[in-house]
Amino acid sequence: MKSTLRQAVVEHLGEQSLSDAQFARLEKLQQTHERRRGKTVLGYALTAVVAFIVATIATLSLIPQDRAATIAAEVVANHLKREPLEIKGTALADIRGHFQGLGFALVESTLADISATTLVGGRYCSVRGVAAAQLRLKDAEQRFETLYQVRYDADRFGVMPMIENGDKPLHLMAQGLDVDLWVEKGVLFARIKE
Partner 1 sequence: MAWATDMAFDRPALDRLFRYAFTLCGDEQASFDLLQDTLQRCLEKPANALTCPEAFARRVMRNRFIDLHRRDSASPLQAAPDSDIELIAIDTHSLEDVIMSRDELEKVWEQLQPIDREILYYWAIEELSASEIAVQMGSRRGTILSRIHRLRTRLQAAFPQGHTTSEGGRG
The stretch near partner 1 (CB under 8 A) out of 32-40, 47-55, 70-78, 186-194 is 32-40
CB of 54 to partner 1, least distance (A): 27
φ/ψ (deg, to 5) at 43 = -60, -45
CB closer to partner 1, 16 vs 100: 16
Q: Does 165 bind partner 1 (CB under 8 A)?
A: no
H or E stretch covering 115: helix 112-115
Three-state DSSP state, 77: helix
CB closer to partner 1, 31 vs 90: 31
Geometric angle at alpha carbon 174, from 171 and 175, rounded to 5°: 150
Q: Does 23 bind partner 1 (CB under 8 A)?
A: yes
The b/e string for 153-167 (b: 16+ C-beta within 10 A; e otherwise) is eeeebbebbebeeee
Q: Does 14 bind partner 1 (CB under 8 A)?
A: yes
The b/e string for 21-44 (b: 16+ C-beta within 10 A; e otherwise) is eeeeeeeeeeeeeeeeeeeeeeee
Cα torsion for 169, 174, 178, 183, to the nearest 10°? -20
Q: Which residues contact 105 (CB under 8 A, 6 or more apart)?
A: 96
C-alpha 139/C-alpha 154 separation (Å) is: 30
The stretch near partner 1 (CB under 8 A) out of 14-22, 98-106, 115-123, 135-143 is 14-22
CB of 14 to partner 1, least distance (A): 8
The stretch near partner 1 (CB under 8 A) out of 16-24, 44-52, 53-61, 79-87 is 16-24
Q: Does 40 bind partner 1 (CB under 8 A)?
A: no
Q: Does 37 bind partner 1 (CB under 8 A)?
A: yes
CB closer to partner 1, 21 vs 112: 21
Q: How many residues bind partner 1 (CB under 8 A)?
A: 28
Q: Does 34 bind partner 1 (CB under 8 A)?
A: yes
Using CB under 8 A, list all residues that contact partner 1. 1-14, 16-18, 22-23, 25-27, 29-31, 33-34, 37
